[in-house]
Amino acid sequence: MLLVFDIGNSDITIGLWDETLWKNVWRISSKPDKPELFYGVKMRDFFSETQISMRDVSTVCLSSVVPGLTEKIKNMIRTLFAVEPIFLEPKIYEQLPIQILNPYEIGSDLVANAMGAFIKFKQTCIVVDFGTALTFTTINGEGKILGVSIVPGLRTALKALTQNAAKLFDVPLEIPKSALGTSTVTAIQSGIVIGYEGLVRKMVSAIREELKTDCPAIATGGLSFVISPLKSFFFAIDPTLTLDGIRFIAEAVENKK
């Protein structure tokens, strides 16, 4: 079995692949202040609940954009699974069938998104990842990353707003009935949720216009479900695209050995 880790700023998403499907997908809040033991206990609990032996895991691959967690998770993997994890970093990118734009600058999660989209969709496309950051990664049909756009994610924008305005407070990320907010809650929901719908449409439109092609947009990320009016706008909503990208990278690296 293959175990993959997507270590993001808000959550660590963990997937267990059994050669045909994602047997399990788990999430843990990203907490760099927690010790390695905390994550080890979580993993033991996950495997105990599924009654799958840790010895069945033969390969582990991880992507991390949180330096404070990277070594802790690597050490936990070495201790629990007795394997050296494959780590997404520039020195392995040359083994992949995609061309990485600025390998020492681009986040490994965006590389995973590009790899996942290239293998699964086999055409020029835009990956819209609704995470801590809202990212747009464009990759062409030949596997070249053409560019990336980044804005604060929905929760990040909401947190910045409520923490910096004394009379505003955290609200659920839900579609309001009207763009005309009539309370603090619906006013924030209107501005953030409906506003971000327009942002996504405009950003994708600008990319398509520049490329002179009506390439498909693929949604992924933990908050991809929030802006439901965009459902028909996307060619596909693929919650496991990043995990699949990490999986494809692990397979490419293993095949090079």
**Active site residues per annotation:** 109
Q: Is the separation of the CB atoms in 101 and 145 below 8 Å?
A: yes
Contacting residues for 16 by C-beta, under 8 A, at least 6 apart: 1, 2, 3, 22, 23, 24, 25, 50, 52, 57
Contact 115, 249 (CB under 8 A): yes
Instruction: Report the DSSP beta bridge partners of residue 137.
Output: 127, 148
> What is the residue type of 32?
P
Short-list 76, 102, 57, CA closest to 7? 76
Residues, the chain, total?
Answer: 257
Instruction: With beta carbons less than 8 A apart as the criterion, state whether 114 and 120 touch.
Output: no
Rounded to an integer, what distance in angstroms lies between the CA atom of residue 84 and that of residue 57? 12
**In sequence order, which ranges of the chain are alpha helices (DSSP H)?**
36-50, 67-81, 90-93, 108-121, 154-164, 184-189, 195-211, 241-256
